[in-house]
Structure 1
Amino acid sequence: MIAHQPIPVFHTLTDVFGSEEAALPHAKRWNDLAAQFEVRFGRKPTYIARAPGRVNLIGEHIDYALFGVLPAAVERDILIACGSRPTQSLSHHAEIPDTPGSVIAENLHPKYTRQVFAPAVKEPQEVSEQDAHAESWKLDINTKELRWESYVKAGYYGVLNHHFSGVENSPAHVDLLVTGSVPAGSGLSSSAAMVVASTLAFLAVNGKVGDSLEDNGGHKSLDKGGLVELAMKNEKRVGVNSGGMDQAASVMSDPSSALYIRFYPSLTASAVRLPTRAVFVIANSLVVADKALSAKRGYNLRVVETLVGARILAQAVGLPIAPVDRITYREVVGRFAGEQPGADMGADALEAAITRLEPRLDVLKPSVTDGVQLGVTMEEMVQMSGLAPDAFHEAYLSWVDIEATRFQLYKRAKHVLTEARRVLQFRRACVEVEAAASSDGSEAALIDSLGRLMNESQVSCAELFECSCPELDDLTRLARQAGAYGSRLTGAGWGGCTVSLVAEGKVTEFIQKVKETYPPYKNLEGTALSEAIFATKPGRGACGQYIYFALDLFCL
């Protein structure tokens, strides 16, 4: 399994990117980062840690319902040049705390200012009995204002508490220089990439990367699954409750493959080989999805509608459910199909169970007023749940802020189940063609099939889950008119990016047509245009460049 693979060691960028041709465009950026580190800190970096962003090819807003998704790593990434700082150099810098593990963090982007911070060992009275064996360190992170260094600190936090017991076993002083090419707020998961790269950088500088390395606390160095779990916990330090898709895609991805990531009964990932004669083109709508402002009426509301709908459906099909149980749609499908607790029925059986359950969704439909389904009111939703108002509030509203007068339980459920089925169909189509040693004809049919599923996903996101926006609707429509086999939003939606499946030999023509027809692109040229729309093939997951006389690389 991918999750249990150790961190391999590479020696060239060709190994990381798969070929000299693929590595060449990246070499200057890596070398320039190393050179800038030397200018700023007076010595070469020991490592450059890399974590890519991700594109979700299909499977939107179903991970928190515990259904599988199909993301892939993109070429855009976060790079962190890093190295331990000699202790004697501390005396020359009054701003640097003379405590274990102090950090100087700089960013090549001029809008991000230099940051200096250090962790502190928790005093015994600060550690609860529950956490006494879990956390020995503390590090202040501002969760109300998502500053860039908060993601660096988040990555550091888990490394501190996973590998260091306190003053007797303390971390090195660290210098960091960060750069990134994943556009923020675009749905390509720049935040997860930053946390993964930061986690990997602190592991590397402190000598915690290796096949059999074991520190004084008895912790073996992490495998890929361990790094994903650590990065997930780390990102929660900045207030992001991630389901693991972003981190898994950034860490576990393989070249030319997507990842089929399952969240039930536990997080697992397997590679799914993609067609070789088509590429994915990412196009930024240039609408920034501000989760902090839209969450009450967008993301958070969809989570509540999805969870409440699952409870009502479970009751309607006769499944026992406790008042405190926030059952998910994946669990409903499993129990409906007789799946044993903690077991996985398999992809084919899951698809069949979803198909059998879909006709039962009518129980979630609201009443019709003047020919229009307005959604259910809060009072109606509480009544449908079978819970008392206080119990309902505790289970579904006490932990999240939402704003709505009507709730679209049926629409959300219809999207979740049909999208989960599309993910399984997408995966099966790829697996069957690979197993049959695909010919040109079978791969062409596969590409057509994948494109159709992507188009159906976009319609569902727009009409049922209502997480699209006018610009994303226009961009996907124009992409199809420009020759894409399929095009859909990617990420949470309400702005951000689209992903389109395009014939490999027609990418330049496709991008030019989209530029000419999508109004926000018409005045973009050169670098500005390539930042907004670009082709990518699924690449390798997080990695790092180890500089020691010759060029060595470790890569996830």
Structure 2
Amino acid sequence: MAAELPIPIFTSLDKAFPDVETAAAQGVRFNAVVEEYQKRFGHKPSYIARAPGRVNLIGEHIDYVLFGCFPAAIERDILIACGPSVPGSGTSTPSAHPPGGVKAENLDPKYKPQSFVPMLKSANGPSAAEEADAASNVHAETAWHLDIDKRELRWESYVKAGYYGVLNRFFASTSEHPAPADLLVTGSVPSGSGLSSSAAMVVASTLAFMAVNNKLDGVTKGQLVEMAMENEKRVGVNSGGLDQAASVICTPHSAIFVDFFPRLSAEPIPLPTPRTIPRAVFVCANSLVVSDKVVSAKIHYNLRVVETLVAARVLALRLGQSLGPTERPRLREVFSRWLGSPELESSPEKVKQGLERFLPEIEKLRPAPEGRKAGELGVTMKEMVEWSGLSEEQFHQVYLSWVDVEAEYFQLYKRTKHVITEAIRVLEFRAVCLAAQAAPDPLPESTLAQLGALMNASHESCATLCESSCPEVDRLAALARASGAYGCRITGAGWGGCTVSLVAEDKVEEFIAKVKEGYEPYRALEGEKLREVIFATKPSSGAFVLKLDP
């Protein structure tokens, strides 16, 4: 299984990237980071940790309820040059790096240099921050504490989040102290674009601190994904693991079908586009509406997490499933219990058939129209508590004590319908890709049309049921289809960010020109500025560490 493979550690870029041209182009960038690191810190880095962004081809807002998704890593990435600090070199002094102390700088001048030191837990008991971590189900048994303010988004918070996980895993129960470290960060994944810059930052940070402390041996890709998932919760986002899995596990030329039940698994699925007539590529287009999961979490991302969790409990009760007062099942677990045949979980084809049979059961979540305004499918907090079968105090403890959410109506029915139909679309997308591998050459253009139709349906569901789109993204998606895309959908957490379109390779330039003309925020952009916001991409290799010569 791909998740059980070790984290790649390379000593040269020609082994890290799939072809000579890519390795040569990346070599210029990696060398520039090494040179700048030496200027700033007075010594060479020992490693460069690299983690790519990702584009989710289909399967949005279903990973945190344990249904499978279909992402691919992209060529744009985060790099962190790192090494143990050398007292007295450059601007460092012996006192500048206490045990485990970090100096972190960013090549982007808008991000100011930062220094921080992990602190041992006080003998007087946990701090307020540690108690908050415990309440949010983030591991609190660590002997270390780093101050991360979830109310204010700061670039170094993602670096700290990665460090926290390394401290927790490797230094909680030993007398060993982490090494002081110097870090230099750079990246080409646009922040807030829906291409998962935050997960790439956390994955790269986790890798960097593991490398500096010689903790890479024996750690699998799946374990790194799990660490990064927990680490990103430190900045206030209840991530489901899709972004981290794509950044860590993906391979060149393939997407992955990543599943989270009954445990994390990842299946590389070659995309059919190189064998089609015409060939096709994926084009990412940034709406330029900045979407940040942390800043708007209580009304967007975290709210969807809570809505699906409560929906799972209510549906389970209405299906006759027995639940304890503190039990908090997710929709995939409720579905699995409903199936009643564990062996079906091993076959995606049979899971798809089961989901299609399960779909009518969602109607049990549709509220009665009496006493509510026309067309309103949501429920109030009071109704939601009543439906849960819990007391108000129990409900708050189980569903709200660990997260901050805000809504007038909670959309249990709509969110669940999105989850189940989207899970079916993911499995259909997978089936089309696999069928293409077994088909004779050349593949018909209808294969691309099938994939495009699934992408279009996914966007419609994201916009109307999950309600994770926004007017600008909807306009960009409609424009992409009108400009010749086989299909287009929002990708990422939503409420801004990027679309991903399936486009004939020989029509990419024409497609981009039409989108540029039709999407007003693009009209004044030329050259590199335009390429920053709309670009074709191919699947990239996942995260790795480059070990540099001493």
Same fold at TM > 0.5: yes
After superposition, residues 143-292 of structure 1 pair within 5 angstroms as: 143-164=150-171, 169-210=176-217, 221-275=218-272, 276=274, 277-292=279-294
Using the size of structure 2 for normalisation, the TM-score is: 0.90
| Shift in alpha-carbon separation, 1:142–1:312, aligned structure 2, 3 A | closer
Instruction: Tell me the secondary structure at the aligned position of residue 534 of structure 1.
Output: strand
Give 1:115's aligned residue. 114
Compute the RMSD of aligned alpha carbons: 2.7
Greater Cα shift, 132-141 or 241-250: 132-141
Instruction: Tell me the secondary structure at the aligned position of residue 440 of structure 1.
Output: coil
Q: In percent, how many aligned pairs have the same letter?
A: 56
Give 2:549's aligned residue. 548
Residue 403 of structure 1 and its aligned partner are, at CA, apart by: 2.8
What is the number of residues matched between the two proteins? 534
Corresponding letter in the other structure for 1:429: V
Give 1:18's aligned residue. 18
Q: Distance in 1 between matches of 2:340 and 2:205?
A: 43
Instruction: Tell me the secondary structure at the aligned position of residue 459 of structure 1.
Output: helix
Residue 496 of structure 1 and its aligned partner are, at CA, apart by: 0.8
Q: Distance in 1 between matches of 2:145 and 2:406?
A: 35
Given the alignment of the two structures, is residue 139 of structure 1 paired with residue 146 of structure 2, yes or no? yes
Give 1:86's aligned residue. 86
Residue 109 of structure 1 and its aligned partner are, at CA, apart by: 0.6
Give 1:524's aligned residue. 525
Residue 460 of structure 1 and its aligned partner are, at CA, apart by: 0.8
**Contact 1:367/1:375, CA 8 A, preserved across alignment:** no
Q: Distance in 2 between matches of 1:301 and 1:353?
A: 27
Q: Distance in 2 between matches of 1:157 and 1:539?
A: 27
Q: Deviation per CA, 1:346-366, whole angstroms, max 9, x where unpaired?
A: 212211111111112222223
Q: Distance in 2 between matches of 1:152 and 1:377?
A: 38
| Shift in alpha-carbon separation, 1:490–1:27, aligned structure 2, 3 A | same
Of the three residues 315, 337, 340, the one matched with 2:339 is 337
Instruction: Tell me the secondary structure at the aligned position of residue 323 of structure 2.
Output: coil
Given the alignment of the two structures, is residue 393 of structure 1 paired with residue 392 of structure 2, yes or no? no
Residue 267 of structure 1 and its aligned partner are, at CA, apart by: 1.6
Give 1:7's aligned residue. 7
**Contact 1:69/1:423, CA 8 A, preserved across alignment:** yes
Q: Distance in 2 between matches of 1:67 and 1:166?
A: 34
**Contact 1:313/1:363, CA 8 A, preserved across alignment:** yes
Residue 57 of structure 1 and its aligned partner are, at CA, apart by: 1.0
**Contact 1:367/1:373, CA 8 A, preserved across alignment:** no
After superposition, residues 285-434 of structure 1 pair within 5 angstroms as: 285-340=287-342, 344-368=345-369, 372-434=375-437
Give 2:59's aligned residue. 59
Residue 520 of structure 1 and its aligned partner are, at CA, apart by: 0.7
Unaligned runs of 5+ in 2: none
Residue 201 of structure 1 and its aligned partner are, at CA, apart by: 1.4
Unaligned runs of 5+ in 1: 211-220, 550-556
Using the size of structure 1 for normalisation, the TM-score is: 0.89
Corresponding letter in the other structure for 1:52: P
Greater Cα shift, 72-81 or 345-354: 345-354
**Contact 2:40/2:91, CA 8 A, preserved across alignment:** no
Greater Cα shift, 320-329 or 274-283: 320-329
Q: Distance in 2 between matches of 1:336 and 1:167?
A: 44
Q: Distance in 1 between matches of 2:64 and 2:72?
A: 18
**Contact 1:121/1:166, CA 8 A, preserved across alignment:** no
Q: Distance in 1 between matches of 2:388 and 2:290?
A: 35
Corresponding letter in the other structure for 1:417: I
**Contact 1:171/1:206, CA 8 A, preserved across alignment:** yes
Give 1:106's aligned residue. 105
Residue 471 of structure 1 and its aligned partner are, at CA, apart by: 0.5
**Contact 1:87/1:173, CA 8 A, preserved across alignment:** no
